[in-house]
Amino acid sequence: MLMQGFPPPPDARVTLANWQEPPFNRWSFSHMRELVPTQRIPRGSGPVTPLPASPLPLGEIALHRVDGTRASVDEVLEDTYTDATVVVHGGRVVLERYAGETAPGTPHLLMSISKSVVGCVVGNLVERGLLSPAHLVTDHVPELGPSGYRGASLRDILDMRSGVEFSEDYTDLDAEVRVIEQAMGWRPASDRRVPSSMYAYLTTLGGTGEHGGVFDYRSCETDVLGWVCERATNTRMADLISELVWSPIGAERDAEITCDGAGTAIHDGGMCATARDLARFGVMLLAGGEVAGRRVVPATWLRESWTADPDILEAFARSVSGPYLPGGWYRNKFWFVPREQHVVLLCLGIYGQMLYVNPGTGTVAGKLSSWPDAQSPAMLQDTLRAFDAIGAALAGAAAGPRTVPGAGVPTRH
């Protein structure tokens, strides 16, 4: 058993060097505060948004995996290293599962689902006139002037279309996505010189091309965006999330976000939350940015996100993600993927974190996982098929497209 004993034996210890590797990640993703510093994201004192349970035998639903074999929903959840799953339909929890180290009250690492939460913070700051997608990054963070972010707009980094040099190859320990983890405090320091804070590392990034080009997934874009938000408001990200998102959605429990040695939140992937509160975030998105009549995310921000113009579709199609998610797009820190019932909004994180919002079937599904590898196209597609099958069963095969309240029907121009 991992981390059992006083002290645990060396081969059972979860450390900075191994916490993202199997089997250690099944423990670590549900115990982040025991590995690295975290900041609390208070839920506030407002009412909790109710999620009454009405369990249904949805685990028995059959589907075809991406390899053509048949499986049940339960088998897909088991085979994709699920730590927690919560499915909501009609305001009720219809399926809920926990495994490994994760329980209903356990904050689990969301990885890059955090980016979508930060995107909602930005939408609110734009609505308040504190930010504009047309602003240059350096308007708010002049320290990035000598870096590859010179000339980049907030729109470029919201849609991950800057020309900054940053490799997201998780299998390459020399790739920038792995090196930045040393600055974050997520990985032990190596022999190479890496700044001891994340913001200092961002200033060292160079450029490879013009801004506004092809979609290229770069986690650093959201870290820059978080820095911009903090500068524009003189408020740290943990408190911005609490005020603008977490408290308004009626979260049941406080969330957390990991931070580096300088107290900087890891905006791109450090947020930790329970599966039920992740589902509440998804229910808000399904309702067009509202909870119990309260506006959480501006309707115009979500309408813009759901609308794909030819430019953004082409930028995505030309990217490495295009063949895996055909017809999709990335906007304002959300993924959008056409499915049989409707275009689905996704919030995705490595090692199998997913929030699935399908207006066509009225289904919200949150899945927290500990895949053995950072990325697995087969596990991603099997999970999508499982949630599609659940939604189709709940809504009925004849369910027609639904409008997202306050956001409008997803469109392409």
The catalytic residue positions are 112
Contact assessment for residue 111 and residue 354, using Cβ atoms and an 8 Å cutoff: no
- Which residues on adjacent β-strands are paired with residue 349? 353
DSSP string, 240-256: HHIIIIITTTT-SS-EE
Contact assessment for residue 275 and residue 84, using Cβ atoms and an 8 Å cutoff: yes
DSSP string, 129-145: TS--TTSBHHHH-GGGT
DSSP state of 34: G
Please give the angle made by the CA atoms of 349, 335 and 63, to the nearest 5 degrees. 80
Contact assessment for residue 354 and residue 338, using Cβ atoms and an 8 Å cutoff: no
Contact assessment for residue 264 and residue 185, using Cβ atoms and an 8 Å cutoff: no
The phi, psi pair for 229, rounded to 5°, reads -60, -45
Residue 323 makes CB contacts below 8 A (sequence gap 6+) with none
Contact assessment for residue 30 and residue 108, using Cβ atoms and an 8 Å cutoff: yes
CA distances from 246 to 238, 252, 283, 363 (A): 10, 9, 13, 21
As a whole number of angstroms, the distance between CA 264 and CA 115 comes to 15
Cis peptide leading into 410, omega within 30 of 0? no
State the Rg of the chain over Cα: 20
Chain centre distance of CA 214:
21
As a whole number of angstroms, the distance between CA 398 and CA 312 comes to 31
